[in-house]
Homo-oligomer: A and B are copies of this chain.
Amino acid sequence: MNKRGFASDNNAGVHPQILEAMAACNQGHAIGYGDDVYTKAALEKFKTLFGTDTETYFVFTGTAANVLGITSALRSFNSVICAETAHIHVDECGAPEKFSGCKLLSVATTDGKLTPESIKQHLHGFDFEHHSQPGLVSITQVTEMGTLYTVEEIKAIADLVHSHGMYLHLDGARIANAAVALNSDFKSFTRDAGVDILSFGGTKNGMMYGEAIVFLNPALAENFKYLRKQGMQLASKMRYIGAQFNAYFEDDLWKKSASHANAMAGLLAEKLSHIKGVKITQPVQANGVFVILPRETIASLQKKYFFYIWNEARAEVRLMASFDTTKDDVLDFCRLLEAKMQNATSR
């Protein structure tokens, strides 16, 4: 039996209904590279969700969705503005720079969220050939700090971005958790708020692999199929990605999974908040809890539960809940923490 934990929502497995759908499509032959009924149905679903004039493409990973989405909108002399904590800036090993040739300009934040004001520091040098031309702002929803943008906050950023002829990209690796947290459909805080390109993730919410790039601004999708292939992201047996997304949307499975994950994070935060000597450092708005633990408890806690230290210097850890996190996981973790803290004190 595998160990359980709060390390990442991608440490969870695949939701059984999704796995079943993958098995169900495993019959006979299907034309490769997306020309199959499962993929077509899934793409149709994205049109239903975001509008018939949007264009969606499947790739393998969230990094690929981000990088190829950015590349499709920009030329190499453009720059990309993002939070200092953005996945594209700190967790993709320079893939955006390598593939797009663009410069990334980061913005320091306390909560992972950009604001029009903080973006403006990089909005200069337009038309000046020595300077990378600001071309796109990328935000993450839910952010890497577990926080949420409101619809209004996204709109304000979109307005600023568009007023400079730039594009807005949203990294939605945890978009389902955001939708649930905002009690919203997907479209309201993306397309309707002015987002041009959306990386739509499912892997962190119960899928096996496969992410979607949704061109809410369909002009940016022109020629994207070539970029996807050149970006080494064209799946030959694509039906298995299509089948996953079909199951993901069927009967709002995505919503049930994300709601559960968010609820478990909420429960965890609630329980932790009652433990003296523990400090929650970010608003818990979706499925992540950032918390400072007594330093001496961390290593021994990790023996039973996977989780990552976020900030070594201040003993801050990140705890992620997923679709399969149980109430028992949460309660047992808190009990264990309290026990460790007592041990430490009594020593």
Q: In whole angstroms, what is the CA distance A306 to B94 when docked?
A: 39
Min CB gap A35→B, angstroms: 10
Q: In whole angstroms, what is the CA distance A138 to B163 when docked?
A: 35
Partner of A101, one of B14, B77, B94, B131: B94
Chain B residues contacting A19 (CB-CB under 8 Å) are 22-23, 26
Q: Are A94 and B5 in contact (CB under 8 A)?
A: no
Question: 6 shortest A-B CB distances, which residue pairs?
Answer: A2-B28, A77-B226, A98-B101, A93-B229, A64-B232, A94-B132
Known: A27-B1, A28-B1. A131 touches B90 (CB 8 A): yes
A2-B37, A61-B233 known; 13 new pairs, CB 8 Å cut-off, are A2-B28, A4-B28, A8-B32, A10-B237, A13-B30, A29-B324, A33-B130, A60-B60, A63-B232, A77-B93, A91-B131, A97-B97, A97-B101
Does A31 belong to the interface (CB within 8 Å)?
Answer: yes
Counted per complex, copies of this chain come to: 4
Min CB gap A293→B, angstroms: 20
Q: Are A234 and B5 in contact (CB under 8 A)?
A: no
Q: In whole angstroms, what is the CA distance A28 to B4 when docked?
A: 6
Known: A26-B13, A93-B132, A203-B236. A306 touches B31 (CB 8 A): yes
Residue among A7, A30, A204 with the most chain B CB within 10 A? A30
Residue among A130, A233, A234 with the most chain B CB within 10 A? A130
Does A235 belong to the interface (CB within 8 Å)?
Answer: yes
Min CB gap A232→B, angstroms: 4
Partner of A129, one of B60, B226, B306: B226
| A interface size (C-beta, 8 A) | 81
Does A75 belong to the interface (CB within 8 Å)?
Answer: yes
Does A103 belong to the interface (CB within 8 Å)?
Answer: yes
By beta carbon, the residue of chain B nearest A62 is B236
Q: Are A28 and B3 in contact (CB under 8 A)?
A: yes
Chain B residues contacting A230 (CB-CB under 8 Å) are 76-77, 92-95, 98, 101
Q: Are B31 and A7 in contact (CB under 8 A)?
A: yes
Does A79 belong to the interface (CB within 8 Å)?
Answer: yes
Partner of A131, one of B93, B208, B240: B93
Q: Are A234 and B63 in contact (CB under 8 A)?
A: yes
Does A227 belong to the interface (CB within 8 Å)?
Answer: yes
Q: In whole angstroms, what is the CA distance A223 to B135 when docked?
A: 13
> Which A residues, 248 to 286, have Cβ-Cβ distances below 8 Å to chain B?
none
By beta carbon, the residue of chain B nearest A67 is B232
> Which A residues, 118 to 169, have Cβ-Cβ distances below 8 Å to chain B?
125, 129-133
For A208-245 the 0/1 string (1 means CB < 8 A from B) is 11000000000000010111111111111100100000
Partner of A232, one of B16, B31, B208, B231: B231
Chain B residues contacting A106 (CB-CB under 8 Å) are 106
Q: Are B14 and A237 in contact (CB under 8 A)?
A: yes
Q: In whole angstroms, what is the CA distance A130 to B101 when docked?
A: 18
Chain B residues contacting A8 (CB-CB under 8 Å) are 32, 236
Does A12 belong to the interface (CB within 8 Å)?
Answer: yes
> Which A residues, 21 to 50, have Cβ-Cβ distances below 8 Å to chain B?
22-23, 25-33, 36-37
> Which A residues, 264 to 319, have Cβ-Cβ distances below 8 Å to chain B?
306
Does A330 belong to the interface (CB within 8 Å)?
Answer: no
By beta carbon, the residue of chain B nearest A34 is B129
